[in-house]
Structure 1
Amino acid sequence: MPFHTTTSSPPANLFYTDSGPQSSPAIVLVHGWACDSHDWSHQIPYLLSLSLRVIALDLRGHGRSSCPPSGYDLYTQASDIHSLLTHLSPDPVILVGHSMGSVISSVLTVQHPELVKALVLVHPIYSGAPSAMPAVAGRMRENPSDAPALTAKFFEQVMYTPQTPVFLKTWHVRRVLGCAPEMLVGCITGLVDVFGSIMGTTEECKAFMRKRTVPRLAVCTLPAAPGWEEELGVREGVDEVHRLTEGTFSHIVEHEKFNAILGDWLRKQELLP
C-alpha cells in the first residue's frame, strides 16, 4: 500500500505515489495548504514522459493522509518528508514545492541539504504572503469549526484571477469544506508563526533562504516575488526566476507554459536521465 508512517512526533500516515523508473533521478512534489497531490495531475504525466521517478505525497491532514491532532508547523511537516525519503531511499532528489509547500521544501533543503540536489519553487509565498493571513489565522483559532468556510473564502479572495476556470474554484471549495479544522488552523498558524524568521522581507528571512545553496528555479505569481528572489541571488546558468500571471494555481491554469519552463530548466541543469 502506498502509505508511510512517519517518524515525526506525532507520527502521520502519509499517502504517496512513486511512479516511473526506480533507477531514474527522483522528483518529489509537495502541494500547498488545503490541497493534495492531485494538484500535480498536469505535471505527473509530463515528468514521467521525461523518464523521471516521480514521488507525489499528501501532507499530514491533507488528501488521503492521516490527520493527527497536531504537528502542522512547517518543521514537523518537513520532518515528515524527510522520513518518507529516508524510507524510499532515493539518491538526492529534485524537490518541488507549491505555495505552503515552497516554505516546507525550503526548510527541508536547509535542514537536510544532503537529500536535495535541486529546488523548484512554485508560487513561493515566503516573500509576500497575503496581508490578511494573520487576521484569518486569529479568527480560525478563536472558532476552529469556522475554519473550512473561512479557508474557502480566503481562497476565493486571494488565490484566483478572472481567468481561473469555474471548475477549479468548485473543486477547491468542495475540497476545503471537507478538510479537518485542526489541519487548517494548524497550517495557517504554522505559517504565521514564522513571519519575520522564514517568511517576509526581513534580513533574517533572506539569510535563512540563502542557506539553500542548490540550483533553484522559482516560478512566481505574486508581483513582488521575482524581485525578492533576485535579491537572494541568481547565479547565471544555475538559478532562474520566471513569472506566471494566473494566480496561485498557475501551474494548473497555465500548465503547458509551466511544464515547458520546468522541463527546459531541468535539461539545462542536466537533471534528466
Structure 2
Amino acid sequence: MPYFLHGDVNLFYTTQGTGPPVLLLHGWACSSHDWSYQIPFLLSLNFRVIALDQRGHGRSSAPPTTDSYAPREFADDVVALLKYLQTGPVILIGHSMGTVIASVLAVEYPDAVKALVLVHPIYSGVPETLPIMGEAMRADPQRAPELAADFFAKVMYTARTPEWLKTWQLRRVLGVDPVSLVGSIDGLVKVFGSMMGRSEEAKAFMRRRKGPRLAICTMEAAPGWEREIGVEDGMDQVCTLNEGTFSHMVESEKFNKILGDWMRARNLIQR
C-alpha cells in the first residue's frame, strides 16, 4: 500500500522508476496530482519519482489541531519518508507552499537534498491577503474551504488557465479539511520574517541553502529576491513563467524543457 505512517499522520505517496530520486512537494490546498504533467517527463529521464500528498492534503490524513501544520512539521514528514524509502539525497521539487518546505529542508536537513527546484516561490514576502484570509478562516473555520476557493479563483489563474483546470482545482479545494487549510496558512504567516520574507534574519537563513538551485518564478518580486539571497553562476538559475501560480501545468511543455535543460547542464540526469 502506498501509505507511510509517521507518528499519527498517514501519508499517501507514490513512487515510480528506479533511477536517481526526485521528490515532488505540492502547494497549499493542492495534492500530488498537480505534478501529473511532470511525472511522465521525469520518468522519461530515468528518475525515480516520488510524489507525496502532504499532511492534511489529498489522500493523506489530517491532524486535528492547527498547530500541526507548521513548515517544520511538513519537513519532518518528508525526512521520515525518505528514510523509510532509503532514497539517499533527492532532487527536491517544490511548488508554492512546497517551496517554503523545500527551503526548510535544504537548510535544516542538507544531507537529504541534492538539488532544489522551486516552482512559483512565495518566500520573497507574505502577500497582504494571506494573513487577512487566515484571520477570516480562524473566525469561521467551517468557511475555510469556501474562502480558499475564492482566493484561488481571484489570485491563482490567468486568462489562459483552462476552465477544466479551474473546475477541478476549485472542487478539490472545497474538499480539503478546514483545520488543514487554517493551520497551513497560520504556519506560513508565522515563518515570514524569520526563516522567510525580507528580513535580514530571513536572508541569512535562505543563504544557507546549498546545492544547485532552479527557481521558476511567476510573481513580480520573486526573481529579484532570489538573486538578492544569492545565485551562484554555473549552478543556479532564475527564470520566469507568466501563467500564474500553476504555470507548470498551463505551460507544461515550456516548464518541462526548462527543467530538463537545467538538469542536463548540472549533470543530474543519469545516462
Give the TM-score category using the shorter length: over 0.9
Q: Do the aligned residues in 1 keep the contact of 2:82 with 2:88 (CA within 8 Å)? A: no
Match of 1:160 in 2: 157
Percent identity among equivalent residues?
A: 61
User: Residue 115 of structure 1: CA displacement?
Assistant: 0.6
- 2:105 alignment partner, SS class: helix
Q: Is 1:213 aligned to 2:186, yes or no? A: no
User: Residue 91 of structure 1: CA displacement?
Assistant: 2.0
The one-letter amino acid paired with 1:41 is S
- Give the whole-Å Cα distance in 2 for the aligned partners of 1:161 and 1:201: 27
Structure 2: 5+ residue stretches without partners: none
- 1:60 alignment partner, SS class: coil
Q: How do 1:46-65 and structure 2 match up within 5 A?
A: 46-65=41-60
- Give the whole-Å Cα distance in 2 for the aligned partners of 1:63 and 1:144: 19
- Residue among 65, 70, 73 paired with 2:70: 73
Q: Do the aligned residues in 2 keep the contact of 1:67 with 1:180 (CA within 8 Å)? A: yes
Q: How do 1:15-30 and structure 2 match up within 5 A?
A: 15-21=12-18, 24-30=19-25
Match of 2:240 in 1: 243
Summarize the Cα distance change of 1:113–1:103 in structure 2 as closer, same or farther, 3 Å threshold: same
- Give the whole-Å Cα distance in 1 for the aligned partners of 2:125 and 2:242: 15
Deviation track 1:41-81 (CA, whole Å, cap 9, x = no partner) reads 00000000000000000001111111111311111110000
User: Residue 6 of structure 1: CA displacement?
Assistant: 1.1
The one-letter amino acid paired with 2:146 is A
The one-letter amino acid paired with 1:176 is V
Match of 1:187 in 2: 184
Summarize the Cα distance change of 1:242–1:218 in structure 2 as closer, same or farther, 3 Å threshold: same
Q: Do the aligned residues in 2 keep the contact of 1:128 with 1:222 (CA within 8 Å)? A: no
User: Residue 109 of structure 1: CA displacement?
Assistant: 1.2
The one-letter amino acid paired with 1:212 is R
> How many positions carry a matched residue from both structures?
268
Q: How do 1:30-49 and structure 2 match up within 5 A?
A: 30-49=25-44
The one-letter amino acid paired with 1:64 is R
Q: How do 1:1-273 and structure 2 match up within 5 A?
A: 1-7=1-7, 11-21=8-18, 24-70=19-65, 71-273=68-270
Structure 1: 5+ residue stretches without partners: none
Deviation track 1:225-252 (CA, whole Å, cap 9, x = no partner) reads 0011011111111000010000000000
User: Residue 172 of structure 1: CA displacement?
Assistant: 1.1
- 2:84 alignment partner, SS class: helix
Q: Do the aligned residues in 2 keep the contact of 1:25 with 1:91 (CA within 8 Å)? A: no
Deviation track 1:181-228 (CA, whole Å, cap 9, x = no partner) reads 000000001011112112211111111111101111000000110011
Q: Which runs of 4+ in 1 moved over 2 A?
A: none
Q: Do the aligned residues in 1 keep the contact of 2:125 with 2:192 (CA within 8 Å)? A: no
- 1:81 alignment partner, SS class: helix
Q: Do the aligned residues in 1 keep the contact of 2:126 with 2:192 (CA within 8 Å)? A: no
- Give the whole-Å Cα distance in 2 for the aligned partners of 1:95 and 1:12: 21
- Give the whole-Å Cα distance in 2 for the aligned partners of 1:116 and 1:153: 35
- Give the whole-Å Cα distance in 1 for the aligned partners of 2:192 and 2:230: 21
- Give the whole-Å Cα distance in 2 for the aligned partners of 1:206 and 1:99: 18
Q: Do the aligned residues in 1 keep the contact of 2:126 with 2:189 (CA within 8 Å)? A: no
The one-letter amino acid paired with 1:69 is P
- 1:104 alignment partner, SS class: helix
Moved more, 45-54 or 66-75: 66-75
The one-letter amino acid paired with 1:84 is L
- Give the whole-Å Cα distance in 1 for the aligned partners of 2:78 and 2:6: 8
